[in-house]
A and B are shown apart, each in its own frame.
Chain A
């Protein structure tokens, strides 16, 4: 083989392992699940071609739309609050005068790198109605007369799940925003100060617009994250009560691995992909219209 050819081929060979793994473990399974979404496969050797049947069923399935609605509610419950909190934390931790920054940054990111299963179980222990410590404190301080059923009613279960997700992801978003903040040129702030701008004006007129791209990234990630929530609602409420915390992914899990309706479950996953693509496009449009 000539040197020239080797020189041209080498980069492709170097990146090949990644693409081989991607094809094997992502693309092929993905295409296969698109295929089985058109069948009634239940795990047996023979799968019958049913065309768009699964999609039709999905479209008219009350619980699928409920799961989409649940995700939207949980999204609204925590994403705005989380982004605001993350932004405020990032700005605070970006101040040159603040001591102990390294430790504080670490502290806020720890929930994110802790196993989500462990975090969820700890919240079950904290929040449960009968002997949760939160209810113990609230009762002890006479804030409430009856224990709050944090995990047993649709209303509170959604709030609890949203809170756990916020707790886990605020630090991560803070980190992204902090990185974004550090790319904002200091001169902008100095110029603003010279012009006599108040801190609030500086925050909304300089910080927020300059972080537009990072905020978009955070929102898109949170959207996808919320719709594919699984561990938290599964552990703290099993997707209940009354399906109030069932997300599309939890539904998919139930249909495939509990009910063995693989065809139908695959239809859910394809519909989920389309839905996510649509939402992401929408957000891109929304943010680009505001940025420039």
Chain B
């Protein structure tokens, strides 16, 4: 939208909020030093898990113990193996052939890697990124991933059927889990920080999604629009209300010492989960999606399908995908 020249430059209006919002949120709202959108909510990634399924498999189930025992992706795979062997349930629900590549994107983002480097050059064939792709493919091939297309009807069903134990995903799953994904499972879901690549990694989380509000360049009432945006997104009260009632995690950092963050949440077995989102959001690497993201995401979905269906090596397919992406962007 920014590149289409459709949005109003609101740099001066947003200036007072510059230091109050998650800094990484501004990067996607900025072009040539001008700001075109006001951050709404952020999506710091954490790990949601089913404490009852963990317990059935003899795994730790209390959030404290899980956070202690499941720190790295290696641990994650080990938990997955136990789950599968002991109870036949799956660690996550995603698809080898029809993935939306979100899990992959989160685990590279967490490593301070993205499809593009800081100058926008494609770096999909970098060793760290290939390693992350390999990790996902391994989970799929070992049978730890229940193969359903994310957000399809089957995807929703497998959670209700108690077949899947974790969702590594953004804080906004908070609101979705309790309302549409698994509304009957009150008390069965818990939250721990996102697993890392290595315990010493400086960043431990990623961001997935989140929204902004912007003003149309041709708006006849830009002042009124801004007043609304300021009321909705710039005021602690409004943002805390959205946190409590819709599970949207505010980008507005001045809210973070509000008492709402320490409240136990009944759905999550009375765990004060919102505190975890605050910790996570402070550890999000500031990366930009960029306008070429949709193309990269499309190519990635196909790349995983090719790896799984044609049994090709991750490295060869990622190299080919990187080439394709480069030629596409020229």
Bound pair (A, B): yes
A135 to B294, alpha carbons, bound, how many Å?
33
- Cβ-neighbour of B147 out of A124, A152, A258 (below 8 A): A152
Chain A residues near B302 (CB, 8 Å)?
240-243
A227 to B260, alpha carbons, bound, how many Å?
55
- Cβ-neighbour of B294 out of A43, A153, A259 (below 8 A): A259
Is A136 among interface residues, defined by CB-CB distance under 8 A?
A: no
With A42-B3, A45-B5, A130-B157 as known contacts, state yes or no: A240 contacts B309, CB within 8 Å.
no
B153 touches A44 (CB 8 A): no
A153 to B147, alpha carbons, bound, how many Å?
12
Is A129 among interface residues, defined by CB-CB distance under 8 A?
A: yes
Interface string of A238-249 (1 = CB under 8 A from B): 101111000000
For A153, give the chain B residue with the smallest CB separation.
B309
- Cβ-neighbour of A130 out of B6, B147, B294, B301 (below 8 A): B147
- Cβ-neighbour of A44 out of B4, B298, B301 (below 8 A): B4
A129 touches B147 (CB 8 A): yes
Q: How many residues of B contact A (CB 8 A)?
A: 25
- Cβ-neighbour of B4 out of A43, A129, A149 (below 8 A): A43
B301 touches A152 (CB 8 A): no
Q: Size band of the A side of the interface?
A: 20 to 34
- Cβ-neighbour of A241 out of B146, B295, B309, B324 (below 8 A): B309
For A154, give the chain B residue with the smallest CB separation.
B309
A240 to B146, alpha carbons, bound, how many Å?
19
CB distance from B59 to the nearest CB of A (A): 24
With A152-B147, A242-B302 as known contacts, state yes or no: A130 contacts B154, CB within 8 Å.
yes
A45, A130, A254: most-surrounded residue (chain B CB, <10 A): A130
Is B95 among interface residues, defined by CB-CB distance under 8 A?
A: yes
A258 touches B294 (CB 8 A): yes
Is A260 among interface residues, defined by CB-CB distance under 8 A?
A: yes
With A154-B309, A241-B98, A242-B309 as known contacts, state yes or no: A125 contacts B153, CB within 8 Å.
yes
For B146, give the chain A residue with the smallest CB separation.
A130
For B161, give the chain A residue with the smallest CB separation.
A131
- Cβ-neighbour of A259 out of B95, B97, B152, B295 (below 8 A): B295
Q: What is the number of contacts between chain A and chain B, taking CB atoms within 8 Å?
A: 63
A44 to B95, alpha carbons, bound, how many Å?
36
CB distance from A248 to the nearest CB of B (A): 16
B306 touches A242 (CB 8 A): yes
Q: Could you tell me the dominant secondary structure of chain A's interface residues? A: loop
CB distance from B86 to the nearest CB of A (A): 22
Is B305 among interface residues, defined by CB-CB distance under 8 A?
A: yes
- Cβ-neighbour of A43 out of B3, B98, B147 (below 8 A): B3
A152 touches B3 (CB 8 A): no
With A42-B3, A128-B152, A131-B157 as known contacts, state yes or no: A258 contacts B309, CB within 8 Å.
no
A154 to B301, alpha carbons, bound, how many Å?
14
Is B139 among interface residues, defined by CB-CB distance under 8 A?
A: no
B306 touches A258 (CB 8 A): no
For B297, give the chain A residue with the smallest CB separation.
A258
Give residues 38-86 of A contacting B (CB, 8 Å): 42-45, 62
Give residues 5-49 of A contacting B (CB, 8 Å): 42-45
A166 to B142, alpha carbons, bound, how many Å?
38
A44 touches B3 (CB 8 A): yes
A130 touches B309 (CB 8 A): no
A92 to B158, alpha carbons, bound, how many Å?
45
A42, A149, A152: most-surrounded residue (chain B CB, <10 A): A152
Is B273 among interface residues, defined by CB-CB distance under 8 A?
A: no
CB distance from B310 to the nearest CB of A (A): 8
A153 to B308, alpha carbons, bound, how many Å?
10
Chain A residues near B191 (CB, 8 Å)?
none
With A42-B3, A42-B4, A130-B157 as known contacts, state yes or no: A241 contacts B97, CB within 8 Å.
yes
For A42, give the chain B residue with the smallest CB separation.
B3
A130 touches B158 (CB 8 A): yes
A154 to B302, alpha carbons, bound, how many Å?
11
Give residues 83-98 of B contacting A (CB, 8 Å): 95, 97-98
Extra contacts, 7 of them, besides A237-B98, A254-B298 (Cβ < 8 A), are A43-B5, A124-B152, A125-B153, A130-B147, A130-B158, A241-B305, A242-B302
Q: Please name the 4 residue pairs, one residue from A and one from B, whose CB atoms are nearest each other, closest first.
A: A43-B4, A130-B154, A241-B305, A44-B5
5 residue pairs A–B, Cβ–Cβ below 8 Å? A45-B5, A125-B153, A153-B309, A154-B309, A240-B305
